[in-house]
């Protein structure tokens, strides 16, 4: 690949770092920059990004600002929730799941405006560079990818700020000093890592949290809610039908109030190192547990156990950036096949950081009081069948016992 780039689509937040990247791309590659700013529910105004892009000479038709919140929840968060995916047993993948959508839209724009390159602001140590770039390459195999953090010599914050000042890029006051940590946010979660979090023995300081109240400050009264599911997806809260993004936003509010979804994690990055992160996933945590709740009565054991065995792999694929891969799609096909009757209502109690499923019902329930009851079951189940069931399950163990005589 050559360095001959004519037009590049940059994932542009409007912040200091990507503004520096914008300028650096113009300078280094002498190319036209197209900015793409996505609203994924990160909770920031996007119009300032437009103004900044204009100031840096970006043509009006080359400034893209898209509200992707509904697509994000419907086509990315929800399919992942159907899988009950948890990375390393605990992490709800809030950052990982947003990257493929950004990559996809960036490539669409590149095709639309005839760009020959794309660029992003992720560093060379993290997972996000992988997630962005695997997405780019899967969707546009011959695109040129520019990852400034791996290329330039602005390797310290001081150098970055000097570059900014030299090029009239406004530097917000709070960016002058070292930030005590770095964050990423979208409708599903906020993550923080670095600096003050780098010693995994030290508790995460309370000021790092921004999406949830401290459980200790949450209401002393629990709150009971219901969530309705249809075919594996949440469709209503307390009986009120809501679009995916609206529903998740509402769960975020509930989660914030009750201090739900904080996670302090040391995780294994795809690039080979361990890192310590702090995650807040208020609505997602509720959704995850509620989905398990509705599956408990609507999903057959065979399907449920197969899902449980596939889920770690599925989560790993998303974490590592392989959303647009045949194997993720194969797993999704299996998972989605299982969700046809995952319809019904879950009742949950939210209290001081905890989410407790306290009831579930469904027109498609497989739970049969008649079969399970300790009382007379009117022949629904013949206890004598259990004898044969056990005898044949034991047969191989008995043959083994006879041989090995332990």
Q: How far is the CB of 76 from a second copy (least distance, A)?
A: 16
Does 366 appear as a known binding residue?
Answer: no
d(CA 105, CA 109): 6
Catalytic hit among 182, 264, 325, 347: 182
Determine, following the binding rule CB under 8 A, whether residue 159 of this chain makes contact with a second copy.
no
Active site (annotated) includes residue 184: no
* Site map 369..388 versus a second copy, x via CB under 8 A: x-xxxx-x--x-xxxxxxxx
Name which position in 48, 57, 200, 241 contacts a second copy (CB under 8 A): 200
**Touching a second copy, residues 175-194 (CB under 8 A):** 182, 194
| List of E strands, 70-166 | 117-119, 144-146
Cβ contacts of 315 within 8 Å, gap of 6 or more: 83, 85, 86, 87, 88, 93
Determine, following the binding rule CB under 8 A, whether residue 357 of this chain makes contact with a second copy.
yes
Does 226 appear as a known binding residue?
Answer: no
Tokens 């791996």: give the residue.
150
Binding segment (CB under 8 A) for a second copy, from list 35-43, 165-173, 247-255, 343-351: 343-351
**Touching a second copy, residues 38-97 (CB under 8 A):** 84, 88-90
Q: How far is the CB of 300 from a second copy (least distance, A)?
A: 5
Distance, C-alpha 189 to centroid of its chain:
7
- The answer to whether 118 and 297 have CB atoms below 8 angstroms apart is no
Catalytic hit among 128, 184, 228, 233: 128
- The answer to whether 109 and 143 have CB atoms below 8 angstroms apart is no
d(CA 114, CA 102): 18
- The answer to whether 276 and 197 have CB atoms below 8 angstroms apart is yes
Q: Of 149, 70, 52, 136, whose CA–CA distance to 102 is shortest?
A: 136
d(CA 47, CA 64): 11
Determine, following the binding rule CB under 8 A, whether residue 124 of this chain makes contact with a second copy.
yes
- The answer to whether 42 and 14 have CB atoms below 8 angstroms apart is no
Determine, following the binding rule CB under 8 A, whether residue 257 of this chain makes contact with a second copy.
no
Q: Of 106, 94, 171, whose CA–CA distance to 139 is shortest?
A: 106
Active site (annotated) includes residue 382: no
* Cα diameter, the chain: 85
- The answer to whether 211 and 186 have CB atoms below 8 angstroms apart is no
Q: How far is the CB of 39 from a second copy (least distance, A)?
A: 25
Q: How far is the CB of 270 from a second copy (least distance, A)?
A: 8
Does 11 appear as a known binding residue?
Answer: yes
Active site (annotated) includes residue 206: no
**Touching a second copy, residues 270-329 (CB under 8 A):** 271-276, 292, 296-297, 299-309, 311-313, 316, 321-322, 324-327, 329
Q: How far is the CB of 168 from a second copy (least distance, A)?
A: 26
**Touching a second copy, residues 318-337 (CB under 8 A):** 321-322, 324-327, 329-331, 333-337
Active site (annotated) includes residue 128: yes
Question: Closer to a second copy at the Cβ: 172 or 363?
Answer: 363
Q: Which two tokens stand for residue 276?
A: 């310590």
Q: Of 20, 50, 51, whose CA–CA distance to 119 is shortest?
A: 20
Q: Which two tokens stand for residue 178?
A: 């070292």
User: Which residues define the annotated binding site for L-aspartate?
Assistant: 123, 127-128
User: Which residues define the annotated binding site for L-citrulline?
Assistant: 91, 96, 127, 131, 182, 191, 267, 279
User: Which residues define the annotated binding site for ATP?
Assistant: 11-19, 38, 121
């Amino acid at each position: 690949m050559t360095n001959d780039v004519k037009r590049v689509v940059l994932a542009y937040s409007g912040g200091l770092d990507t503004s520096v990247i914008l300028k650096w791309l113009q300078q280094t590659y002498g190319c036209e920059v197209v900015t793409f700013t996505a609203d994924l529910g990160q909770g920031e105004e996007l119009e300032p990004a437009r103004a900044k892009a204009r100031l840096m000479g970006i043509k009006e038709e080359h400034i893209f600002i898209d509200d992707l919140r509904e697509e994000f929840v419907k086509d990315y968060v929800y399919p992942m929730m159907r899988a009950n995916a948890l990375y390393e047993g605990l992490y709800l993948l809030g950052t990982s799941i947003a990257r493929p959508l950004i990559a996809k839209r960036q490539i669409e724009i590149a095709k639309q405006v005839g760009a020959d390159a794309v660029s992003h602001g992720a560093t060379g140590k993290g997972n996000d560079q992988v997630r962005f770039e695997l997405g780019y390459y899967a969707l546009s195999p011959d695109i040129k990818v520019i990852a400034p953090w791996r290329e330039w010599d602005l390797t310290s914050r001081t150098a970055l700020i000097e570059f900014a000042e030299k090029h009239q890029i406004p530097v917000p006051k709070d960016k002058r000093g070292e930030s005590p940590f770095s964050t990423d946010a979208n409708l599903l979660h906020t993550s923080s890592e670095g600096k003050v979090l780098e010693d995994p023995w030290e508790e995460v300081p309370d000021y790092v949290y921004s999406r949830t109240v401290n459980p200790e400050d949450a209401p002393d009264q629990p709150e009971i809610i219901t969530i309705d599911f249809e075919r594996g997806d949440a469709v209503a809260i307390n009986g009120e039908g809501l679009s995916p993004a609206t529903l998740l936003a509402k769960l975020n509010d509930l989660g914030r109030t009750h201090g739900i979804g904080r996670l302090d994690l040391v995780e294994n990055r795809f690039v080979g190192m361990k890192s310590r992160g702090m995650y807040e996933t208020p609505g997602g945590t509720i959704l995850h547990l509620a989905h398990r709740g509705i599956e408990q009565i609507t999903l057959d054991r065979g399907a449920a156990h197969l899902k449980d065995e596939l889920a770690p792999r599925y989560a790993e694929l998303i974490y590592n950036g392989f959303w647009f891969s045949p194997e993720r799609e194969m797993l999704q096909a299996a998972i989605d096949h299982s969700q046809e009757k995952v319809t019904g209502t879950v009742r949950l109690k939210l209290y001081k950081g905890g989410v407790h499923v306290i009831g579930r019902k469904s027109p498609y329930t497989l739970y049969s009081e008649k079969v399970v009851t300790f009382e007379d079951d009117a022949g629904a189940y013949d206890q004598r069948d259990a004898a044969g069931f056990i005898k044949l399950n034991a047969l191989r163990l008995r043959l083994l016992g006879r041989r090995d005589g332990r």
